[in-house]
Structure 1
Amino acid sequence: MSLHHAYDPDNIFAKILRGEIPSANVWEDEHVLAFMDVFPQSEGHVLVISKTSTAPSLLEIEPEALDRLTAAVQRTARAVEKALSPDGFQIMQLNGEAGGQTVFHLHFHIIPRWTDRPMKGHGHAPMADAAVLRALADRIAAALD
């Protein structure tokens, strides 16, 4: 798959945005949605996506949408840190199949890290229990500024 390609309106995130697939939402506004990754690489792994842009990658997103998205990533990362007290965290944003991207709707990963817990590989983690994700989403949401 090329780095530049047409947006697929049937990708999993588009289906989440349309309410066709359930998600454990942390928070949303008219521009962005933050929700738990169902295949978490670490406890508290959150995804943040634009609700207004259909850009498949960082190269195609509108500057205003990117501004809102990165502000949402920062707000969510602060809540993850406050709620879960990790030793650190990673912000990942992958572009193109060769770059490791598996869903072609621009998204950011917030992955909490602890020194004594190994991180699962991207695309290799088992599916998490929905109730566990909901509880984590609620804890992170309660820590939002």
Structure 2
Amino acid sequence: MRFMMIVKATTDSEAGVLPSQQLIDAMQKYNEELVKAGVLLAADGLHASANAVRISYPEPGSKPKVVDGPFTEAKELIAGYTLIEVKSREEAIEWALRMPDPHGFGQGEIELRQVFDFENLTEDPNARAKDEEIRKQVEELKKA
């Protein structure tokens, strides 16, 4: 089972305030623990929404609408994520509870969400085969 730990943004992360060296060290130690346990798939921080673009689809069949950031509600924004693969929801919660306060000032908030596996989205064997082929292509590109 894959889970994403979504680190919520704060006013500081949206203002472009970089993490302290102490927080960077704590996060690197945490990520090393995830690697040693064999559960880490990815972990990255995101730039502030001032550098972002939001694309919406206001009406079915209409052209997408592009809006440049920044976006106003920091609590609704994402500052980073960690993607893990574990055996259960409970294990994912245990790992999320071990993450250091992602903003270092008691402002951190982590949302834990399970990632869909493609086979949970459709029974169509052709769609599943196509998804598997795409995943293989991605892996090959990583090796190149």
TM-score, scaled relative to structure 2: 0.34
Query: Higher relative contact order by CA 8 Å / sep ≥ 6: 1 or 2?
Result: 2
TM-score, scaled relative to structure 1: 0.34
Q: Which has the higher helix share?
A: 2
